Amino acid sequence: MARARSNFVCQECGAVYNRWHGKCEACGAWSSIVEEIGGGSSAAVPASLRSARGKGRVFPLEGLQGESKEPPRTPSGIDELDRVTGGGFVRGSVILIGGDPGIGKSTLLMQATAALAQGGHRVVFISGEEAVGQVRMRAERLGLASSPVELASQTNVEDIVATLSEGRPPALVVIDSIQTMWTDTAESAPGTVTQVRASAQHLIRYAKTTGAAVILVGHVTKDGQIAGPRVVEHMVDAVISFEGDGAHHFRILRSAKNRFGPTDEIGVFEMTGAGLAEVPNPSALFLEGRDAAAPGAAVFAGMEGTRPLLVEIQALVAPSALGNPRRAVVGWDPARLSMVVAVLEAHAGLKLGTHDIYLNVAGGMRINEPACDLAAAAALVSSLSGSALPPDAVYFGEIGLSGAVRPVSQAATRVKEAAKLGFSTAILPVSRSEGGDGGALRLQTIGHISELVAAVAARPRHRKAPSAQQEG
């Protein structure tokens, strides 16, 4: 009998080596390479998919012309979840959802499966981490114990597929989690790269052949990335991350990849005692309780996918007694902050090299788009000068290395969202492509960063409240 082929596979990125290495050359992780038996052999390919002939089978090719129609979708009954998925679950699609432990992934999926089951669809929840009794206890806490959701605690993929094939095909299958699944076609231990990849292939094949939508729950690493091989993210139709901070009561469902809808779309939920509640107006939530009269606070009109979102950018610039001043950023790119500070020093004459700088996106939101440059610069200048910004103004625009403020996309949508929340002024770059007025808002255009600094410096300085010693 031939000896099974042995490979050494990185458990972080899935890179394959023919011998052991202390450090993975692909991702740079240390002590992540593990020996796996049959990891790269043809044993991972089912016998039904292997060609019985020496040559392949000829199949017909089609052109681009032809009838195209919208894929059939099954609404989940949760509007924020449907927004992220593009309007509902597409038949035969596979979604990979990841998030930190305890963030609420299982709670959200339990609410979604209960809503679908109450609508008359067959829904199956397979848990590889919890017993059926534990899943029932969560359903009781959420008030969903009466929902006709089919439950099972199983980890073998072949047994799961055989059980799902009995009766009518389910509309939705939830696998919690893919790291606990194992298949007979791979000889590695559950949780290894080979088992995760082979199990995902088997479940994807089931979804495509039966038309059932499948949701795979994935663990995340300490960096917030979905654990396991990156090839699984390329195999599935959508990748969704569930984000949140334990210090805040809201959660953000963000789409990183979607073959049937927009990417970078977000859905906002609020964690309550009865589960996750939808937040239809997240801008009002992020701006709740802000101190509009304090220096160093600017409201940024951003875009998350197709949704406009208003958040508060807070900055604190204070003289430093250290030789190397601190630069702390929460919710934004630190490299982007360094660039904005350098532009303010080079083209606006500000002296920030001897100051500690702290920047925070209020509410725990994370901003990725460069349109936040102008709002961050306004907050920094406001904190340095001690002059509060107009409380009814929003900012957005990209700052170039020359100090020029560059236009950003979807300016009209940002302005419309600001007007809906009661703001009266929008400070934005000059745009030639998106003309027109701001409706109820007054548009104030800025072409260079020096114009922003001059406008903030001309405002009255904020008077600090006297301390207890001064009062005495």
- What is the C-alpha separation between 207 and 213, in angstroms, rounded? 6
DSSP-derived letter for residue 292 is T
Is the pLDDT assigned to residue 3 strictly greater than 80?
no
- What is the C-alpha separation between 103 and 174, in angstroms, rounded? 17
| Alpha-carbon 205 to chain mean position | 26
Is the pLDDT assigned to residue 244 strictly greater than 70?
yes
* Prediction pTM value: 0.80
pLDDT of residue 406: 95
**Residues 394-450 pLDDT 10s:** 999 999 999 999 999 999 999 999 999 999 999 999 875 554 456 678 999 999 999
pLDDT of residue 103: 86
Is the pLDDT assigned to residue 38 strictly greater than 70?
no
Is the pLDDT assigned to residue 301 strictly greater than 60?
yes
**Residues 255-295 pLDDT 10s:** 999 999 888 889 999 988 888 999 988 898 888 888 888 99
Q: Quickly tell me which residue has 């020996």 as its tokens.
A: 35
Question: In sequence order, which residues have a C-beta less than 8 Å from that of residue 140 and are 6 or more positions away?
Answer: none
**Residues 310-324 pLDDT 10s:** 999 999 999 998 889
**Angle ∠(140,144,147) on CA atoms, nearest 5:** 125
**Residues 354-380 pLDDT 10s:** 999 999 998 888 898 999 999 999 999
According to CATH, the superfamily of the domain at 73-280 is: P-loop containing nucleotide triphosphate hydrolases (3.40.50.300)
112 neighbors 242 (Cβ within 8 angstroms): no
Is the pLDDT assigned to residue 227 strictly greater than 60?
no
The residues facing 153 across adjacent strands are 127
The mean per-residue pLDDT over the stretch 165-182 comes to: 92
pLDDT of residue 250: 84
Q: Given this structure, which CATH class describes domain 285-457?
A: alpha beta
- What is the C-alpha separation between 55 and 46, in angstroms, rounded? 18
Q: Kindly indicate the confidence band of residue 471, based on its pLDDT and cuts at 50, 70 and 90.
A: very low
The larger pLDDT score, comparing residue 210 to residue 273, is at 210
**CA dihedral of 442, 447, 450, 453, whole degrees rounded to 10:** 20
**Residues 99-142 pLDDT 10s:** 888 888 999 999 999 999 999 999 999 999 999 999 999 999 99
Residue 273's Cβ-count burial label (10 Å; 0-12, 13-18, 19+) is exposed
